[in-house]
Chain A
Amino acid sequence: MMQNSSSNIRQSLQRIYAIVIKELRQLSRDKPTFGMIVMIPFIELLLFGFAINTNIRHLPVALVDQSQSEIARTLTADLTATQVVNFVKTYQTPLQGAAAITRGEVRATLIVPKDVAQRLNDGRPVAQWVIDGSDTVVGNAILILKNMPLTSLNPNIQTNPNISQSTFEMTLLYNPERRSAINIVPGLIGIILTMTMVLFTSAALVRERERGNLELLITTPIKPMELMVGKIVPYVFVGLLQMFIIVGLGHLIFNVPVNGGMVQLLLATLLFISASLTLGMLISTVAKTQLQAMQLTVFILIPSILLSGFMFPYEGMPVLAQWIAEALPVTHFIRLTRGIVLRAAQLADLWSDLLWLACFTLIGLLVAAKRFKKRLD
């Protein structure tokens, strides 16, 4: 009896061993998969290890100087020295400064009033920060400046214990309660759509090839571009449905306002869906198997989550990571949705991101159609 059961175990182990060896053999013959096993942790660790930086610096801000005084110049020099902000624009009126925030050009505007000298003497807040509150991480980084000591302007302040006033008056636009859901939900549209759209089309051509359907299709009069467009169109509707679910639930459950126009959001989403589907199509012309298509999708998805500005502010990343982020459709889309949903920005204000998505779609489709040959050689 003992002998019987031990031989059963031995036989069972032998069968497991056979499967293990077979899996390893197949894996080692699938070169791209094998490569990705090594490359995914390697590249992504290096990339994200350096790229993800919650210590934000050099946020682009604007200056509205109504005083035209020496004090204003010293003040901006002191602020620049903190490395938190970087004055990239100058405007005449606070209104223009606010418009720049809406367009997403700057994250905040510093308004230095006419009576800045008087305020400094009185120990009142010397100037006002108008901050884009839609991204709470960015907002918090600027809020830290509230009590910045003005040592170079008025050395007495530090030694005078009676003065406990803040240096700046802070005004948060768009998200005064600093709720993170406000910022996360519009970004989530981008992430979820990237996940589903890229995955849908990346497997599309590969699946036809694996099932043998492609051999039939290439003998028919269908043209590569027709095949690409035909495969993309149905998923556009899937994407729009997902967008409505996210925006609707976000509004109902998390109370995320839709400040901008629904039509504008629809238009931006349409462009982004097309760009993501095109990206999937490109993957589909590269991948040989559905497994490879899946891995390449994940390879796109991880930077889309981490580098797009969804989780960590774009401004906090090194230049190289910013370049990668610029190449991803989702980075542009997150700028668009946050602009439209939170800051009531007009599409005309965000034209560069729109243009980028449109160009990506067109060029991507052309490349995918070119790569797809109606030949077997």
Chain B
Amino acid sequence: MADIAISTEGLTHYFGSFKAIDNLDLSIPAKTIYGFLGPNGCGKSTAMRLITGLLTPTSGKIHVLGMDIPEQAEALRLRIGYMTQKFSLYDDLSVIENLRFISQIYNLDSRTSKQRIDEQLTSYGLNERSTRLAGSLSGGQRQRLALACATLHKPELLVLDEPTSAVDPENRRDFWEKLFDLCDQGTTILVSTHYMDEAERCHGIAILESGIKRADGSPAQLMKDLGAQVVEINGDNLRQLKQTLIADADIISAAQQGTHLRVLIKENIDDPKAWLQQKFSDAMQGRELSLVRPSLEDVFVHSTGEGRQ
């Protein structure tokens, strides 16, 4: 059990009468990157705030790094780094001033502080901008600064709430490289996202919907265990075709992706291509069908579909 960084049991949280987190059980291994995947308002941020002790749960148990939360939340603060969804450093302080501020708040002694700040500036490519005001940085630079500040005191656990929502794809890739570096150095990382490609990079993910955990596991395992088959269909009038197909009980979903339609078909259909051509012979006229590997998005659509209707 020593290798479990975060565990929750029956974690439930209400905002008034609104149930934001519903009976959430988590077991997150140490030194891995674990992702919360879900649409806006699914409870990702609330779950993170509960885990870091910023919110008091209505019921349920939380253990983080061997401590009971929220009772030991103050002690936990020294051992975690937290990056908020909105940039929360000081716009009117320079890059290096922000870093110094954080290092003093965490009581780093002046030698360690100087050394760590130099390391972070180099490692996050902020050397040339160290005297620029944080408010004048680009989205990607700000995010690097925020991560540099959150990891300045070498936390054992890093909590990142939608860290890349305001960042372009290239910066996002660099950002994830950094996360893997940190993970290799032994940091446990909890990250929330609504990007599939980001979720796919995590060692483990939980798919959340309306505060309920719909799926939990490694992305590869989840894709393998999808319990559905994916067929891509090309051709014209895909919007119309989609309407026809989703009316069928054996078809879980259909989504247009550029020139083709991606159709999720229930597992119990033996040969989905043949089944489609037979059942919708008119609509399939002149179209190409191909069976493809399930993606995480398919997993997401499949596991969250039930709640929507």
- Chain A residues in contact with chain B, CB under 8 A? 211-222, 374-377
Contact = CB atoms under 8 A, between A and B. Distances in A.
B52 to A, nearest CB: 6
A215 B74 CA distance: 15
A219 B74 contact: no
B49 interface: yes
Interface of B: 49, 52-56, 70, 73-74, 77-78, 80, 82, 84, 86-91, 102, 105-107
Nearest to A227: B105
Nearest to B74: A221
Contacts of A214: 88
B106 A220 contact: yes
A220 B105 contact: yes
B55 A216 contact: no
Chain B binding surface, main DSSP class: loop
A360 B90 CA distance: 31
A377 B56 contact: yes
Contacts of A212: 84, 86-88
Given A221-B77, A375-B55, A215 B106 contact: no
A221 B107 contact: yes
A213 B88 CA distance: 4
Chain A binding surface, main DSSP class: loop
A222 B55 contact: no
Contact of B88 (A216, A374, A377): A216
Contact of B56 (A218, A220, A375): A375
A220 B102 contact: yes
Contact of A222 (B86, B87, B88, B105): B105
28 contacts: A211-B91, A212-B84, A212-B87, A212-B88, A213-B89, A213-B90, A215-B86, A216-B88, A216-B89, A217-B105, A218-B54, A219-B52, A219-B54, A219-B77, A219-B84, A220-B105, A220-B106, A221-B74, A221-B78, A221-B106, A221-B107, A222-B105, A375-B53, A375-B54, A375-B56, A376-B49, A376-B54, A376-B55
Contacts of A376: 49, 54-55
Contacts, number: 50
B53 to A, nearest CB: 8
Given A211-B91, A213-B90, A219 B55 contact: no
A377 B102 CA distance: 24
Contacts of B105: 217, 220-222
Contacts of A213: 88-90
B88 A215 contact: yes
Contacts of B78: 221
Contacts of B102: 220
Given A375-B54, A376-B49, A216 B82 contact: yes
A6 to B, nearest CB: 45
A214 B90 CA distance: 10
Contacts of B53: 375
Nearest to B54: A376
B152 to A, nearest CB: 11
A251 to B, nearest CB: 37
Contact of A219 (B56, B82, B90, B91): B82
Nearest to B89: A216
A222 B91 CA distance: 20
Nearest to A220: B105
Contacts of B77: 219-221
Nearest to B90: A213
A203 B53 CA distance: 27
Lowest 9 CB-CB distances: which A-B pairs, in order?
A216-B88, A219-B82, A212-B86, A212-B88, A376-B54, A220-B105, A215-B84, A221-B77, A377-B55
A215 to B, nearest CB: 5
Given A219-B77, A374-B54, A375-B54, 8 more contacts: A211-B88, A211-B91, A212-B86, A213-B88, A213-B90, A216-B88, A219-B80, A221-B78
